[in-house]
Structure formats: structure tokens, C-alpha cells
């Protein structure tokens, strides 16, 4: 009897419906209405009688106090209790919402991807924690925060079924209120997580394993002060209880203020979810399972068709307008694959823009150094347009053609904080100097050697800097490079232009797979980059030949290639391999730093320690 009572007491707090089975009555009660039933409790004097229409109002708690039926007399009640007093107890069934197995697996995969699954529950602490444990969420120390204001009254179970704020359906049962049990999924990357208030158990809470007296904030208005003055544990918990739509939206806003990226997944049939969908960084609407109100009548027998939408389906589509993605309950939602694709695309975009920025700085810095060295412009107008409009964009965008990798999903992403600190700037400068600056100096040396070869021609007896130094007051000497030495300048500019494009391709080879060395993964696996790099080199050679021929026919002066210093050709042939080796050495250091950052991010994600933690 004690074990039965313990089972009843425990499940009466978390169950949504409880049924008892007894040995059938030997005889019935005369004139007992069919729509009236008795609710048995421990004390016979507390037995209540209720009408059948009241059943729908007490689907959430077996402890609800029901009014006495005016049609029932005290004698009938006494006789009914007497008939059931000495019966044999056969069994008790407790009905609770169960987590779908695919969602349990999804949560496990999200945790391995450093994505925290956060459940916003409208129920109290006890029911929410029981269901959270079924989903595989942690329910130990620092496991949940109640968003109900301290001064507000606890929301009753019967009324809380109507306060559903932005949630994703996952239950297999129905509620008499007509709305299915729903819960919100806020997925955000790389979470790091309270208040001077103690999270006490509610009066319905269970002791023992459900006891949680961690110092966490209670009420949405106390979360920000806790984050500012105590610790960040509220950003690390997986469960928020006593949630209403306004509190849920405000908590998502707090997460975003602290750099979290929030993906909201919720029901498309709750009009209160619209504001929550708009608050999230991204949102997915799912059409939930409709409640089965009648066992003989199927729910929504009409198929989903655009030309014949039922009102409920039309409302579902309308409420899902803020969401980029909309799914039906029975659709095969591959959320993990979507996240992996998006991560891969974002990382590829960052790599692409990094190469584009460095190549643009390479062009600017090379011309600036030429001016400081008192050399003529290394690039003509057509060269600059060709590089900026064709070579740099094509080479950078080709990095987007990398195939997706499974390890992308296990990476911890950065917070969404728009902050550039000194460490980031210093790291970028070191990488740029190691990867690109040596190639700039090699191209400038080649440019200067070609100009020196032009000055050393028998018909041009002068030094490289003579026109710059001695021609300050002579206009004919100032314009000597564009008139007298036009052939040498044209050849020098085109060789500089050709080398610059070749060196950019050589440097980009190490950026194709920035997590692996060349001997671990060849860059030619990126077919888009391979075709683009080969096309750029071929087109660059054709552009150089055409530009030299066109400008020679225009100005008439031409410098033969045989008069170019041999070291220029040696640099052009040898330096691409040296540049690849330097980039691999730089990548080695970059990989070590990335692994260290990943370990630190994983440690920050896995821990929930705060100021009041037991360790």
C-alpha cells in the first residue's frame, strides 16, 4: 500500500491524467446519471462528485477540486462510496507526455555540435524537469531558471495550457483546451553562461532528485542583474520554466545581447509565436499534430493542397510568415544537415572574404611601396581594373567550392559579438605579413630589375633613379619613363602584373583547405578552384601578351625579353614554390591556434560552473 501511495503522490504532480482500475461492482446504483462520476481520495469524507462536462476542465491535475453535483444527494454519494469501499485495486495508469525518440537523438547531436538545446516550458518546475529529463537534458545543479515574476501568482495547470509561447510540438497526446503540448527550442551556438535569488522549489515540487537550490534568478526582470553582478549561468541552462510569451521573447533578447545566435523552432498554430519568431536570429515553424477530439472522426482528412486550404491550414501558413523555413509535422526535417551546410557556407565565406581582403591590400601596398622607393607606377589602369574586377573576385569566390566535411559539425563557433580587439588585429597582421608581404617584395624586386635592365640598354645610358633625382626642374626628364623609356616600363608593368597574379594563385592554394596541410588534402579536390586558378593563369598570360603588343604598336618602343635580367625569370619560376612553403609554415601556426581556441570553446560550452556552484 505504501509503494502504491508513493507512486500516486509522485505521478499526481507530473501526470496530466491518471486512471484507476478496480474490481467491477457487484451491482449498480439506481438512477445514477451517466454524466456524473465520483473522484476517490484518501479520505471518504473528501470524495467529490462532478458532472461529465467538467472533465475537460481538469485534464491537467488529479488534485483539482470539483464542485458537488446539484443533482446528487448526500445519500447517493454515501451509497456510491460504500459500494466501492471494499473493492480490489487492480492498477493505476499515469499518462504523461513523452519525448519523441528522434528529438532525443537530435538533442544529443546538437550537444556534440556545441549547440545548446534550450526548452522554454509553460509548466512549473516539477513537470518541466521531468519532461526535460525524458528529452535527455541535464537536470542536476544549475539546470533551470524560472521566468515567473516573484510577485506573480503561480500559473495553474488548467490555465497554463493556453499560455503557449513560441514552441515546437513534440507530444503524442492531446489537451482538452484544444492545443497540443508544445515547447520552444532555442538553439544557439557556443553558449557561455545569476542572481542573488535562490531558486526554491515550488509547493508542488518533489524533494530528493528534484531539489534545486542553486542561486539562480527567479523572474525575467532579475536575469540581467544576475548576469551583470554574479555570473553567466542563466545563459548555460537548458530549461526555463513558468514561461509566458513575453518572458520568452525577453529571454531570447537577453541571449542575443550576450552574443548568442538563437534559432527558434515553434508551432505555426500559435498566434503568440509570431513575435518570438521575429525576435530570433532565425526561425523555423512546424505545423504540430492536431488534437484528436473524436475517435470516430479523423482530423483534417483533406490533403494539403494550395488550391484547397482549410482555415486552420491557412492560419498556419499566415503565422509562419516570419519564418524562412516551414515544415509539416510529418516532414523529414534534417536540422543537423541544415546546420552543417550553413556552418560550411559561413566558414567558406569567411575564408573567401579573407583572401579577397588580403589580395586587395596586396595591390595597395605594392603601389605604396613603389611610391616610397621613387619608382614609376607598377600597374597601369587596365592592369588595376583587370585585377580588381576579374582575378581577385574569381580567385576568392572559387574557395566556396570546397566540399562539405562532417567535422564542420563538431566545431564550436564564435559568439555573435561585433567587437574587434587588439589580439584579432595583431593576429591578422602577423598572418598577412607571413603570407603576402614576401610575395610583394619579390614582385617589386622583379619590377626594379626590369626597369634597371631598360636603363642599361646601349641606347639608354642612365641609372634607374637618374630621371627622378636630376630631373626635378626639367620636364623632359620627369616624363622620361612615359616617353623615352616607354618600352621598358610597359614590359616591367606587365611582368609585375603577371607575377602578382601567379603569386596570388600560389598563396590561395594554402587557403583552399585551411584546416589541412597540402600533403594531407590536395587543393585540387576543390574542382571550382582548380578550374579557376588554371583559367586565371592562362588568361593572365594572354592579357600580358596582348597588352605588350597593343602598347608597342601605339608607342613604337619595345624592349626585347632577352635584355631582361636573368634573375627576374629565376624569381618568377622559383618563388611560387617558396611562397607555398611559407604559407604552409604559417598555416601550421594557425592550425595550432585554432585547435587551442576550439578546446577552450568546448570547455566553456560544457561547463556550468558559477559563483554558487558546489565545485
- Strand-pair partners of 91: 21
406 contact partners, CB below 8 Å, separation of at least 6 = 340
Q: What's the domain count of the chain? A: 2
Report the pLDDT value the prediction gives residue 75, as an integer from 0 to 100: 57
Residue span of the structural domain in which 37 resides: 1-51+71-95
The residue assigned the cell 626639367 is 474
Span of 52-66, 225-239, 259-273, 340-354 with lowest mean pLDDT: 52-66
- Residue ranges with strand state E in 10-106: 17-22, 36-39, 48-51, 89-95
Residue 140 pLDDT level (bands cut at 50, 70, 90): low
Report the pLDDT value the prediction gives residue 170, as an integer from 0 to 100: 31
* 577 domain-assigned: yes
Q: Which ranges in 373-421 belong to alpha helices (H)?
A: 381-386, 392-397
* 335 domain-assigned: no
* 373 domain-assigned: yes
Model confidence at 339: pLDDT above 80: yes
The closest alpha carbon to 268, from 277, 259, 260, belongs to 277
Residue 560 pLDDT level (bands cut at 50, 70, 90): confident
554 contact partners, CB below 8 Å, separation of at least 6 = none
Answer for the pair 496, 547: CB distance below 8 angstroms, yes or no.
no
- Residue 3: CB atoms within 10 A of its CB come to 7
462 contact partners, CB below 8 Å, separation of at least 6 = 455
DSSP, res 391: I
Model confidence at 477: pLDDT above 60: no
C-alpha cell at 406: 562532417
Model confidence at 307: pLDDT above 80: no
The pTM of the full predicted model, rounded to 2 decimals, is 0.71
* 233 domain-assigned: no
C-alpha cell at 194: 545569476
Mean pLDDT of the 402-416 span: 82
CA distance 240 to 224: 15
φ/ψ (deg, to 5) at 41: -125, -175
Mean pLDDT of the 155-182 span: 34
| Rounded percentage of the chain residues whose pLDDT exceeds 90 | 21
Model confidence at 59: pLDDT above 70: no
Residue 40 pLDDT level (bands cut at 50, 70, 90): low
Report the pLDDT value the prediction gives residue 373, as an integer from 0 to 100: 86
Q: Largest Cα–Cα distance of the chain, in whole Å? A: 132
Last residue of a domain, one of 95, 130, 157: 95
Report the pLDDT value the prediction gives residue 508, as an integer from 0 to 100: 92
C-alpha cell at 211: 531539489
| Rounded percentage of the chain residues whose pLDDT exceeds 70 | 70
The residue assigned the cell 546538437 is 110
CA distance 242 to 160: 9
* 426 domain-assigned: yes
* 81 domain-assigned: yes
* 326 domain-assigned: no
What are the DSSP calls for 294-350, one per residue?
Answer: -TTS-S--SPP-TTS--HHHHHHHHHTTT-SEEEETTS---HHHHHHHHHHHHHHHH
Residue 278 pLDDT level (bands cut at 50, 70, 90): very high
CA 472 to each of CA 467, 477, 531: distance values in angstroms, whole numbers, following the listed order: 8, 8, 49
> In degrees to the nearest 10, what's the CA dihedral of 488, 489, 493, 496?
60
Residue with the bigger pLDDT between 26 and 195: it is 26
Span of 35-44, 516-525, 596-605 with lowest mean pLDDT: 35-44
CA distance 317 to 301: 18
Report the pLDDT value the prediction gives residue 214, as an integer from 0 to 100: 55
The closest alpha carbon to 260, from 244, 280, 241, 278, belongs to 280
Mean pLDDT of the 337-362 span: 91
* 131 domain-assigned: no
Query: At CA 134, angle to CA 133 and CA 138, rounded to 5?
Result: 25
Amino acid at each position: 500500500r505504501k509503494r502504491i501511495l508513493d507512486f500516486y503522490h509522485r505521478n499526481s504532480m507530473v501526470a496530466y491524467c491518471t486512471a484507476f482500475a478496480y474490481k467491477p461492482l457487484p451491482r449498480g446504483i439506481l438512477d445514477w446519471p451517466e454524466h456524473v462520476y465520483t473522484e476517490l481520495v484518501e479520505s471518504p469524507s473528501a470524495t467529490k462528485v462532478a458532472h461529465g462536462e467538467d472533465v475537460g476542465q481538469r485534464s491537467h491535475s488529479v488534485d483539482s477540486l470539483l464542485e458537488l453535483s446539484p443533482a446528487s444527494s448526500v445519500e447517493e454519494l454515501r451509497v456510491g462510496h460504500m459500494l466501492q469501499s471494499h473493492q480490489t485495486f487492480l492498477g493505476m495508469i499515469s499518462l504523461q507526455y513523452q519525448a519523441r525518440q528522434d528529438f532525443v537523438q537530435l538533442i544529443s547531436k546538437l550537444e556534440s555540435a556545441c549547440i545548446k538545446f534550450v526548452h522554454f516550458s509553460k509548466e512549473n518546475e516539477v513537470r518541466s524537469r521531468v519532461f526535460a529529463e525524458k528529452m535527455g537534458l541535464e537536470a542536476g545543479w544549475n539546470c533551470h531558471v524560472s521566468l515567473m515574476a516573484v510577485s506573480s501568482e503561480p500559473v495553474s495547470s488548467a490555465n497554463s495550457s493556453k499560455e503557449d509561447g513560441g514552441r515546437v510540438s513534440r507530444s503524442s497526446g492531446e489537451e482538452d483546451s484544444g492545443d497540443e503540448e508544445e515547447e520552444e527550442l532555442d538553439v544557439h551556438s557556443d553558449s557561455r553562461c545569476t542572481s542573488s535569488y535562490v531558486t526554491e522549489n515550488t509547493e508542488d515540487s518533489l524533494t530528493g532528485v528534484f531539489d534545486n537550490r542553486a542561486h539562480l534568478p527567479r523572474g525575467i526582470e532579475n536575469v540581467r542583474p544576475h548576469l551583470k553582478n554574479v555570473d553567466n549561468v542563466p545563459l548555460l541552462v537548458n530549461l526555463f520554466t513558468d514561461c509566458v510569451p513575453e518572458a520568452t521573447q525577453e529571454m531570447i533578447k537577453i541571449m542575443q545581447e550576450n552574443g548568442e545566435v538563437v534559432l527558434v523552432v515553434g508551432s505555426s498554430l500559435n498566434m503568440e509565436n509570431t513575435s518570438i519568431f521575429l525576435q530570433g536570429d532565425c526561425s523555423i515553424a512546424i505545423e504540430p499534430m492536431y488534437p484528436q477530439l473524436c475517435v470516430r472522426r479523423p482530423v483534417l482528412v483533406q490533403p494539403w493542397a494550395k488550391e484547397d486550404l482549410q482555415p486552420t491550414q491557412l492560419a498556419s501558413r499566415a503565422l509562419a510568415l516570419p519564418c524562412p523555413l516551414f515544415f509539416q509535422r510529418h516532414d523529414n526535417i534534417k536540422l543537423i544537415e541544415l546546420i552543417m551546410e550553413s556552418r560550411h557556407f559561413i566558414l567558406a565565406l569567411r575564408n573567401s572574404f579573407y583572401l579577397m581582403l588580403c589580395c586587395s591590400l596586396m595591390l595597395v601596398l605594392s603601389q605604396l611601396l613603389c611610391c616610397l622607393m621613387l619608382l614609376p607606377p607598377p600597374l597601369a589602369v587596365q592592369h588595376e581594373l583587370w585585377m580588381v574586377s576579374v582575378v581577385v573576385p574569381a580567385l576568392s569566390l572559387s574557395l566556396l567550392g570546397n566540399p562539405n566535411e562532417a567535422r564542420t559539425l563538431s566545431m564550436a563557433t564564435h559568439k555573435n559579438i561585433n567587437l574587434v580587439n587588439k589580439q584579432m588585429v595583431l593576429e591578422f597582421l602577423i598572418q598577412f605579413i607571413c603570407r603576402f608581404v614576401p610575395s610583394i617584395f619579390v614582385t617589386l624586386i622583379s619590377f626594379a630589375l626590369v626597369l634597371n635592365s631598360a636603363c642599361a640598354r646601349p641606347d639608354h645610358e642612365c641609372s634607374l633613379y637618374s630621371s627622378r633625382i636630376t630631373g626635378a626642374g626639367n620636364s623632359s626628364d620627369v616624363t622620361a619613363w612615359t616617353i623615352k623609356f616607354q618600352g621598358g616600363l610597359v614590359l616591367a608593368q606587365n611582368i609585375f602584373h603577371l607575377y602578382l597574379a601567379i603569386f596570388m594563385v600560389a598563396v590561395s592554394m594554402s587557403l583552399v583547405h585551411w584546416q589541412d596541410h597540402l600533403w594531407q588534402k590536395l587543393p585540387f579536390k576543390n574542382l571550382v578552384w582548380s578550374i579557376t586558378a588554371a583559367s586565371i593563369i592562362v588568361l593572365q598570360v594572354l592579357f600580358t601578351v596582348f597588352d605588350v603588343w597593343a602598347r608597342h604598336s601605339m608607342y613604337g618602343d619595345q624592349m626585347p625579353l632577352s635584355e631582361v635580367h636573368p634573375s627576374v625569370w629565376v624569381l618568377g619560376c622559383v618563388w611560387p614554390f617558396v611562397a607555398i612553403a611559407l604559407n604552409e609554415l604559417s598555416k601550421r601556426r594557425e592550425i595550432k591556434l585554432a585547435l587551442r581556441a576550439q578546446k577552450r570553446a568546448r570547455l566553456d560550452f560544457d561547463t556550468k560552473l558559477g559563483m554558487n556552484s558546489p565545485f
